[in-house]
Amino acid sequence: MFGIRNNKMTLKSALQDLRETTLAAISGLLAKLAYLGSLRREGGYRHWGMSLVHGEESSDRALKAAHTQVLSAVLRTPIADLVEDLRESSQDSKKTAGAYVEDMREQFGELLPLPQDAVSASHLNSVLVALSNLEQNQKPATPSAS
Protein backbone atom coordinates (compact mmCIF):
# COMPACT_ATOMS: atom_id res chain seq x y z
CA MET A 1 0.00 0.00 0.00
CA PHE A 2 1.28 3.44 -0.86
CA GLY A 3 0.59 6.48 1.26
CA ILE A 4 1.23 10.17 0.91
CA ARG A 5 3.03 11.95 3.71
CA ASN A 6 4.05 15.60 3.41
CA ASN A 7 3.41 15.39 -0.36
CA LYS A 8 5.91 12.52 -0.64
CA MET A 9 5.00 9.00 -1.62
CA THR A 10 5.76 6.42 1.05
CA LEU A 11 6.55 2.83 0.17
CA LYS A 12 5.93 1.42 3.62
CA SER A 13 2.94 -0.72 4.38
CA ALA A 14 0.67 0.53 7.12
CA LEU A 15 1.95 -2.21 9.46
CA GLN A 16 5.59 -1.45 8.70
CA ASP A 17 4.95 2.27 9.22
CA LEU A 18 3.21 1.55 12.53
CA ARG A 19 6.05 -0.66 13.76
CA GLU A 20 8.89 1.61 12.64
CA THR A 21 7.46 4.92 13.77
CA THR A 22 4.69 4.83 16.34
CA LEU A 23 5.49 1.59 18.17
CA ALA A 24 9.26 2.12 18.01
CA ALA A 25 8.76 5.30 20.04
CA ILE A 26 6.97 3.46 22.87
CA SER A 27 9.17 1.85 25.53
CA GLY A 28 8.07 -1.57 26.72
CA LEU A 29 5.81 -4.33 25.47
CA LEU A 30 3.16 -3.59 28.08
CA ALA A 31 3.09 0.08 27.09
CA LYS A 32 2.70 -0.92 23.44
CA LEU A 33 -0.17 -3.23 24.40
CA ALA A 34 -1.88 -0.50 26.43
CA TYR A 35 -1.42 2.01 23.59
CA LEU A 36 -2.83 -0.30 20.92
CA GLY A 37 -5.72 -1.19 23.21
CA SER A 38 -6.51 2.50 23.65
CA LEU A 39 -7.01 2.79 19.88
CA ARG A 40 -9.56 -0.02 19.69
CA ARG A 41 -13.14 1.12 19.31
CA GLU A 42 -16.37 -0.70 18.64
CA GLY A 43 -16.08 -1.82 15.05
CA GLY A 44 -12.33 -1.34 14.66
CA TYR A 45 -9.37 0.85 15.47
CA ARG A 46 -9.03 4.60 15.17
CA HIS A 47 -5.74 6.36 14.50
CA TRP A 48 -6.18 9.66 12.74
CA GLY A 49 -2.65 9.92 11.31
CA MET A 50 -2.49 6.36 10.04
CA SER A 51 -5.93 6.66 8.46
CA LEU A 52 -4.86 9.85 6.73
CA VAL A 53 -1.68 8.30 5.32
CA HIS A 54 -2.76 4.71 4.63
CA GLY A 55 -6.55 4.86 4.50
CA GLU A 56 -9.00 3.69 7.13
CA GLU A 57 -9.17 0.04 6.05
CA SER A 58 -5.38 -0.49 5.81
CA SER A 59 -4.88 1.37 9.05
CA ASP A 60 -7.46 -0.77 10.83
CA ARG A 61 -5.90 -4.01 9.54
CA ALA A 62 -2.40 -2.89 10.55
CA LEU A 63 -3.49 -1.84 14.03
CA LYS A 64 -5.32 -5.12 14.61
CA ALA A 65 -2.34 -7.14 13.36
CA ALA A 66 0.10 -5.18 15.53
CA HIS A 67 -2.21 -5.49 18.54
CA THR A 68 -2.41 -9.26 18.06
CA GLN A 69 1.38 -9.53 17.64
CA VAL A 70 2.14 -7.43 20.72
CA LEU A 71 -0.33 -9.40 22.85
CA SER A 72 1.26 -12.64 21.64
CA ALA A 73 4.72 -11.30 22.52
CA VAL A 74 3.53 -10.33 26.02
CA LEU A 75 2.03 -13.78 26.57
CA ARG A 76 5.27 -15.48 25.45
CA THR A 77 7.55 -13.34 27.61
CA PRO A 78 8.76 -14.85 30.91
CA ILE A 79 7.23 -13.16 33.95
CA ALA A 80 10.65 -12.05 35.25
CA ASP A 81 11.21 -10.16 32.00
CA LEU A 82 7.72 -8.67 32.20
CA VAL A 83 8.50 -7.32 35.69
CA GLU A 84 11.36 -5.34 34.13
CA ASP A 85 9.16 -4.41 31.16
CA LEU A 86 6.50 -3.13 33.55
CA ARG A 87 9.01 -0.78 35.14
CA GLU A 88 10.15 0.41 31.72
CA SER A 89 6.58 0.77 30.44
CA SER A 90 5.43 2.73 33.48
CA GLN A 91 8.28 5.27 33.39
CA ASP A 92 6.85 7.41 30.59
CA SER A 93 3.42 7.41 32.22
CA LYS A 94 4.80 9.00 35.40
CA LYS A 95 3.04 6.28 37.40
CA THR A 96 4.47 3.67 39.69
CA ALA A 97 4.72 0.20 38.20
CA GLY A 98 2.00 -0.94 40.60
CA ALA A 99 -0.39 1.85 39.53
CA TYR A 100 0.39 1.17 35.89
CA VAL A 101 -0.47 -2.52 36.08
CA GLU A 102 -3.64 -1.72 38.05
CA ASP A 103 -4.70 0.69 35.29
CA MET A 104 -4.10 -2.09 32.77
CA ARG A 105 -6.27 -4.43 34.82
CA GLU A 106 -9.06 -1.82 34.90
CA GLN A 107 -8.92 -1.45 31.10
CA PHE A 108 -8.58 -5.18 30.54
CA GLY A 109 -11.19 -5.40 27.77
CA GLU A 110 -9.28 -2.91 25.62
CA LEU A 111 -6.09 -4.96 25.84
CA LEU A 112 -7.53 -7.85 23.83
CA PRO A 113 -7.70 -7.51 20.04
CA LEU A 114 -10.35 -10.24 20.04
CA PRO A 115 -12.40 -9.99 23.25
CA GLN A 116 -14.00 -13.38 22.52
CA ASP A 117 -10.56 -15.08 22.71
CA ALA A 118 -11.10 -16.68 26.12
CA VAL A 119 -7.71 -18.43 26.21
CA SER A 120 -5.72 -15.22 25.62
CA ALA A 121 -7.99 -13.35 28.01
CA SER A 122 -7.39 -15.88 30.78
CA HIS A 123 -3.64 -15.96 30.14
CA LEU A 124 -3.35 -12.14 30.08
CA ASN A 125 -5.42 -11.86 33.24
CA SER A 126 -3.07 -14.30 34.98
CA VAL A 127 -0.04 -12.29 33.80
CA LEU A 128 -1.49 -9.00 35.06
CA VAL A 129 -2.48 -10.53 38.41
CA ALA A 130 1.02 -11.99 38.81
CA LEU A 131 2.65 -8.64 37.94
CA SER A 132 0.36 -6.83 40.36
CA ASN A 133 1.15 -9.28 43.16
CA LEU A 134 4.87 -9.10 42.47
CA GLU A 135 4.77 -5.30 42.55
CA GLN A 136 2.83 -5.29 45.83
CA ASN A 137 5.40 -7.63 47.37
CA GLN A 138 8.25 -5.35 46.24
CA LYS A 139 7.10 -2.54 48.51
CA PRO A 140 9.13 -2.29 51.70
CA ALA A 141 7.28 -3.55 54.72
CA THR A 142 6.33 -0.88 57.22
CA PRO A 143 7.77 -1.46 60.67
CA SER A 144 5.19 -2.68 63.13
CA ALA A 145 4.76 -0.89 66.40
CA SER A 146 5.41 -3.31 69.22
CB 63 within 8 A of CB 47: yes
Average pLDDT, the chain: 88
The residue ranking higher by pLDDT, 38 or 10, is 38
Of the CA atoms within 13 Å of residue 90, those in its CB half-sphere come to 19
Q: In which band, very low, low, confident or very high, does the pLDDT at 1 lie, cut at 50, 70 and 90?
A: very low
3-class SS of residue 44: strand
Domain ranges of the chain: 3-138
Of the CA atoms within 13 Å of residue 65, those in its CB half-sphere come to 13
Strand pairing category for 3-5 and 8-10: antiparallel
**Which residue in 94, 123, 96, 92 sits closest to 108, CA to CA?**
123
pTM: 0.84
Residue 64 has pLDDT above 80, yes or no: yes
Average pLDDT of the residues in 87-97: 92
Q: What angle do CA 44, 40, 67 make, to 5 degrees?
A: 100
Average pLDDT of the residues in 67-83: 97
Least confident segment among 40-49, 89-98, 124-133: 40-49
